[in-house]
Structure 1
Amino acid sequence: MTANTFNHAADYLDAAREMADTGRPTLARLLAEEASARTADPKNAARILAEFPGGTLRSES
């Protein structure tokens, strides 16, 4: 078995889509938020968040 690694925004986005496809919308949104945060282009970051609607679920301290 190969462990998943998350080194790039695309890794988080792939995982977000997988979670959405398997009925885990909250986890999908969290992963999408991380993918968005790791995306340099603001338009692409906004597009990622639009694909997974909802308010932020991250807690910033």
Structure 2
Amino acid sequence: MPRSFDRPADLIDAAREMADSGRPTLARLLAEEAADRTPDVNEATRILADFPGRSFRQED
């Protein structure tokens, strides 16, 4: 069954899996997406703190 990433919690779960498997960059990107989809600023900050590192996003 394919995974869905409809909720921030889905992205956080995937980020944890990536971190556990030695993929910190992908974990950080997933955490950033989860934080973007989280309406509570404090919760978004906490999510990013759980997955430290610099952002690799390319913003305009």
1:60 CA displacement: 1.5
Residue 31 of structure 2 is matched in structure 1 by 32
1:55 CA displacement: 1.4
Deviations 1:3-27, CA, capped at 9 Å, x for gaps:
0111011111000000001110000
Q: Gaps (5+ residues) in structure 2? A: none
The 3-state SS of whatever aligns with 1:45 is helix
Q: Which whole-Å CA distance do the structure 2 matches of 1:11 and 1:59 have between them?
A: 23
Q: Gaps (5+ residues) in structure 1? A: none
Superposition TM-score, scaled by structure 1 size: 0.93
1:56 CA displacement: 1.2
User: How much is the aligned-residue C-alpha RMSD, in angstroms?
Assistant: 0.7
Superposition TM-score, scaled by structure 2 size: 0.95
Q: Which whole-Å CA distance do the structure 2 matches of 1:35 and 1:13 have between them?
A: 6
The AA in structure 1 aligned to 2:43 is: N
Residue 3 of structure 1 is matched in structure 2 by 2
Query: Does the alignment pair 1:21 with 2:25?
Result: no
